[in-house]
Amino acid sequence: MAPPSIVVGAAAAALNCIPQTFHNPNISGLGISSISAHVVNNWSLEIPQGLYTSHEARNVTDVSFCNVTVTSTHPGWNDTINTQLWLPLDPSDWNGRLQMTGGGGLVTGLLYTAMTGALSDGYASVSTDGGHNSLTDLSVWGLYEDQNPNLYNVLDFAQNSLHEAAVMGKTLTKDFYGKNVSYSYYTGCSTGGRQGLAIAQNYPEDFDGILASAPALKWNDIAIQMLYPMVNLLDQHDGFPNQCELDALTAAAVEACDPKDGVTDGIISAPELCDLDPLTMVGRSIPCGTSSEGHVVNISRIAAIGAKGAWYPVEQSGTALWLGFGQQAQLGGLMNTTTTTTTTNSPSGVSEPEPVPFGPSVQWLACMLKHDPAYDWRTNYNVQQMYEQLKSPENALYRGILSADNPDLSKFRDAGGKMITWQGMADDNIPTAESQDYYQSVEAHDPDVRDYYRYFQPPGIGHCLGGPGFFPGQTFENLVDWVEHGRAPDSLLGVTQPDFNGVISQRPICLYPKRAKYDGEGEVTAAGSWTCQ
């Protein structure tokens, strides 16, 4: 049984979880339509690794909190934004801090896994739907009825609603607990990573610490570029490979390139040394399909050209069409194909592979660039059109709204902010070079960048999570330690999932551009056997 003082505290707080407790946050250009509040008891949620950004899996049970929902609008925009603030019901459970969580893909936020994670750590947790109820369908929120782009909603998605949520979070938390938050933090990955960079660049005083992982920092460009691997195949062959062919090519790259970093562990840690030409694999026989329905196929030239197009950067007249994946990235991320069992005379008994492209990219192309939700990219689109759209005035307009690649972080620095970014070397959605190039541009602008912004590249990790590599599940705690105690991290601790024998490996993820190197002594699986060089 909990101590009586805590019960009393929770009971008293529950009485304050009513709309009248919270006053209208005064935010220029924003109208508050309503504020609601209600108690949520016994909230439980299982959170897989990484869905609470940069945290390990956890099972949250029986948490009670005050759910405050603010509905707001920008007069004249005809938008409706919902922002939620989850406050630990018992004041003794609140750690005095605010944590804002971001979104992913075409979702601005209100991802309950992330909000629950923050709440379970004692934070007041805030997030916003950016004006589209977390819907991923751009034809609903990105276009007007006449199919013209709804730039107001795009602005909300890009950054406006984020700053407003930060202000609301701080204001309403003070209303509930009677005191200011001591520190405020932001965390997000992918779209959430872009949001973090946008906040640092445009609202540098909103947060003391920002964790911006695998950021889609130039969303308008990346949304187009992520179609390149498939469009390139369509241009050259009008066909697509079996998924098992792509998996076999990735496995071959790992086998050839894994040892080049000095340790054979199934992880490519030095992708710049990987020079496997997938065309040398053409004709090799591989099993395809499950053991019960499997068949044998030969790796096709189409698959090899697809892998080569995905692995290596491509540009046209100085414009990047594609920055290239690390060779351990799962090619199915952007070149996903599917087959079905068929009754035709096909030797394998399955249909020809059909493409399943990255949904947000297809939607962005159809809705925001072609202004036609029914646009058929497979019939009408090619690499030349991709180049022209990247150079178009319309894309320049979106770049001004959505890009978060300004290398000048001096205002964030001067405000005392600290930021960490990491991106996995096996990211299968956004090339790791996106984050690497941005960090280098900030460093060129300010050689002292490491005083306030640090970047890491964990090997073998996919987009935000997944992969056989070293997941940095304590990065947020590293950020807090840096902000509140001045201990800047020179490395993050990376931990793998258990292998077939149940062995877990640990390794330092070094501050870019350093890499972890095995010292030749001790267990390879132990972090202490590695140094940053």
State the catalytic residues. 190, 427, 463
Q: For residues 55 and 185, give the distance between their C-alpha atoms in angstroms, rounded to a whole number.
A: 15
Helices (H), 258-357: 301-311
Distance CA 518, CA 529 (A): 6
Beta bridge partners of 296: 287
Is the peptide bond prior to 513 cis by the omega test (within 30 degrees of 0)?
yes
| Residue 480 β-bridge partners | none
- Name the pairing type of β-strands 183-189 and 209-213: parallel
What residues form DSSP beta bridges with 43?
63
In angstroms, rounded to a whole number, what is the distance separating the alpha carbons of residues 468 and 329? Answer: 11
d(CA 328, CA 432): 12
| The two three-digit tokens of residue 84, written as one number | 């939620």
Task: Tell whether the torsion through CA atoms of 323, 328, 333 and 337 is positive or negative.
Answer: positive
Q: How many helices (H) and strands (E) does the chain have?
A: 17, 19
Q: Is residue 483 within 8 Å of residue 451, measured between CB atoms? A: no
Residues in the chain, overall count: 533
